[in-house]
Amino acid sequence: MCGIVGYTGYRPAAPIVVEGLKKLEYRGYDSFGVAAKNNDMSIDCYKRQGRISEAEKAASMLKGTMGIGHTRWATHGVPNDVNAHPHYDCRKRIAVVHNGIIENYAELKRGLVSRGHSFSSDTDTEVIAHLLEEVYTGDLFKAMKAILPKLSGSYALLVMAEGDDRIIAARESSPLVLGFGDGEMFAASDMTPLLDHTERMMFLEDGDIAVLSPDNARVFSGDTEVTRKVELIDWSVGDAKRGGFKHFMLKEIYEQPHVFSDTIRSVETVPDGLARCKGAMVVACGTSYHAGMVFKYLLEEACHIPVRLELGSEFKYFTPPVTELVIGITQSGETADTLAALKKAKAHNCPTLAITNVLGSTVTRIADETLYMRAGPEISVAATKSFIAELAVLMQCVNHLSGGKFSEEIFRANRAVEEVLLLDLSTAVQTCNGADHIFFVGRGPFYAVALEGALKMKEISYIHAEGYAAGEIKHGPFALLSPKTPVVAICMPGSTYGVMVSNIKEMKARGTPVVVIGAGGDDELAAIADVYIGLPKGGLMEEVLMTTVVLQLLAYRTADSLGRDIDKPRNLAKSVTVE
């Protein structure tokens, strides 16, 4: 959601900023803009609604070696050229780009208007430029220090002004990363635009103001200059490139076998909080919530440790009694609802654990302990490899807590995933791509997989898809079954096999075409199914992984057959940093 990039150095800034913004496109946006400072120190700006590719050349032509840019995801004011960032003060001497939301902007705007300021846009951001205008006398850092206490809400800000040769960056509840080059300094809302230029990065903390010059960055918290660690990032530039694949999503699905192995190997022990806990609560959103649901089934079954599951967006507003370990799962580490839920858990004095893919992300600063996945950058909006990496972390935790019961299985699981990547799903795709509605059903951990399969299908193919616990279908959704509403059923061997077969037969009796995912060689089951996808033999964890990958591929191939914009589905943002 929204992205910002800044550069100050010896090269022309605008092309670097525009390239950086392109790397942030995956976060979702509706308009973009760049401001660069000319050698005569005046600021020029180019901004417009629409895709960067439609105006890349014009935006890159701005002159100067210092620049800031923005991809906007409209919150205050419709997407149009005027509301696109950067925003200016009345005299166009100060330019601001902003991620986040200024909650008290209406009140601030009223005051500014009454003092004679004239506004060009409907955005909350523009108040920042006008507030700066009132106090700026040539020292932009001083001006920022004076106005930031007036803002409430969240922000990652980059600001430039005529008469000051520094970029000032500030952060509050919205991520901001600095990149250190040689004689160049970069800033961005996440690491991806910086990977082309440097592996040395610094993650700002809430309340930080950074003063950026080509040779250094000084960071202040309040009146005190502070030291923030410069981290060496081992994500490669190639990780963030499509590398011959038609879409990032497909590339990321194919990366899963090694992502799973790398992550499993990296989780060598269980954090203290988890090792000690008698019960845990997971807070998460979307795909990460589904990972938490798989964890619940696996941990309760293997270790008899009860696990509660809460949506981040719900937990924040209600106060269920909570005393146990609270685990926040968030691949980006920036999902506002999950962060809010974890903060609330902390306020209840609960121990907290974060599971995330992003070093230095906000969740790592909230939680007491953090476990990292090793997925590398995930560019496609639809989460795939990060889900598998979340499962890897959680499965390895279950394995450790159970005394290594699943070691053999999880260390060979990458091979099972590799085999699934080779399956031909064309008949299943044909069954799905003409449908308006699809149900995905399973039981136990496969219910969580069904929910995730339905989420993938709906977000990238735009076909309405619902995940259901198989046993619940007859408590209502039966009314919707018809020859035009296929069901995708996960029916693996195990304790729920018999009842799943009955469920499938019941659905078939309503004329519903059923795509069944089951064990290879199960001829009886294959005979009931309209389309049968047989998987290699494996343990429960391998089955969870394999069925997940089948459903990811089914969603991908279905969406591709419909010509969808798979990596950037409509209305969606990669990282949901507002509540």
- What is the full DSSP assignment across 186-209? EEESSSGGGTTT-SEEEE--TTEE
With the C-alpha atoms ordered 20, 22, 27, 33, is the resulting torsion angle positive or negative?
A: positive
- Comparing CB distances to ligand F6R, the nearer of 261 and 575 is 575
One character per residue 364-403, x = contact with ligand F6R (rule: CB under 6 A): ------------------xx--------------------
- Comparing CB distances to ligand F6R, the nearer of 357 and 496 is 357
Per CB under 6 A, does 330 bind ligand F6R? yes
Instruction: Determine the interface stretch with ligand F6R among 89-97, 158-166, 199-207, 283-291 (rule: CB under 6 A).
Output: 283-291
CB-based contacts of 106, cutoff 8 Å, min separation 6: none
- Comparing CB distances to ligand F6R, the nearer of 60 and 380 is 380
Task: Report phi then psi at 269, rounded to 5.
Answer: -140, 170
2 is catalytic: yes
- Comparing CB distances to ligand F6R, the nearer of 208 and 337 is 337
Candidates 8, 131, 29; CA nearest to 570 is 29
Cα distance between residue 44 and residue 64, in whole Å: 9
CB-based contacts of 467, cutoff 8 Å, min separation 6: 439, 440, 441, 447, 450, 451, 452, 453, 454, 455
Nearest distance in Å: CB 293, ligand F6R: 12
Catalytic annotation, pick one of 2, 285, 350, 491: 2
Question: 246: which DSSP letter?
Answer: S
Catalytic annotation, pick one of 47, 316, 458, 574: 574
Candidates 120, 33, 109, 48; CA nearest to 79 is 48
Instruction: Determine the interface stretch with ligand F6R among 23-31, 190-198, 218-226, 284-292 (rule: CB under 6 A).
Output: 284-292
- Comparing CB distances to ligand F6R, the nearer of 282 and 382 is 382
Cα–Cα–Cα angle for 331, 333, 336, rounded to 5 degrees: 115
Instruction: Determine the interface stretch with ligand F6R among 91-99, 248-256, 279-287, 545-553 (rule: CB under 6 A).
Output: 279-287
Residues 451-470 that bind ligand F6R (CB under 6 A): 455, 459
Per CB under 6 A, does 174 bind ligand F6R? no
Per CB under 6 A, does 286 bind ligand F6R? yes
Burial class (CB in 10 A: 0-12, 13-18, 19+), 288: buried
One character per residue 397-436, x = contact with ligand F6R (rule: CB under 6 A): ----------------------------------------
Per CB under 6 A, does 338 bind ligand F6R? yes
Residues 30-59 that bind ligand F6R (CB under 6 A): none
Residue of the chain from 331, 399, 431, 552 that contacts ligand F6R (CB under 6 A)? 331
* Contact yes or no for 344/310 (Cβ under 8 A): no
Nearest distance in Å: CB 141, ligand F6R: 32
Cα distance between residue 426 and residue 29, in whole Å: 33
Task: Report phi then psi at 247, rounded to 5.
Answer: -140, 155
3-state SS, 289-354, equals HHHHHHHHHHHHHHHCCCEEEEEHHHHCCCCCCCCCEEEEECCCCCCHHHHHHHHHHHHCCCCEEE
* Contact yes or no for 578/101 (Cβ under 8 A): yes
User: If binding means CB under 6 A, how many residues of this protein chain bind ligand F6R?
Assistant: 15
Other beta carbons within 10 angstroms of residue 120's beta carbon come to 13
Candidates 422, 463, 413; CA nearest to 440 is 463
Residue of the chain from 489, 576, 577, 578 that contacts ligand F6R (CB under 6 A)? 576
- Comparing CB distances to ligand F6R, the nearer of 410 and 576 is 576
Per CB under 6 A, does 352 bind ligand F6R? no
Nearest distance in Å: CB 341, ligand F6R: 11
- Comparing CB distances to ligand F6R, the nearer of 198 and 577 is 577
Instruction: Determine the interface stretch with ligand F6R among 54-62, 137-145, 259-267, 286-294 (rule: CB under 6 A).
Output: 286-294
Cα distance between residue 472 and residue 327, in whole Å: 28
Residue of the chain from 250, 285, 345, 489 that contacts ligand F6R (CB under 6 A)? 285
574 is catalytic: yes
- Comparing CB distances to ligand F6R, the nearer of 338 and 548 is 338
Scan for tokens 């990039």, then name that residue: 5
- Comparing CB distances to ligand F6R, the nearer of 132 and 371 is 371
Cα distance between residue 213 and residue 9, in whole Å: 8
Nearest distance in Å: CB 549, ligand F6R: 14
Per CB under 6 A, does 359 bind ligand F6R? no
Cα–Cα distances in angstroms (integers) from residue 324 to residues 274, 351, 505, 542, in the given order: 10, 7, 42, 29
Footprint of ligand F6R on this chain (CB under 6 A)? 285-288, 330-332, 335, 338, 382-383, 455, 459, 575-576
Residues classed as catalytic: 2, 574
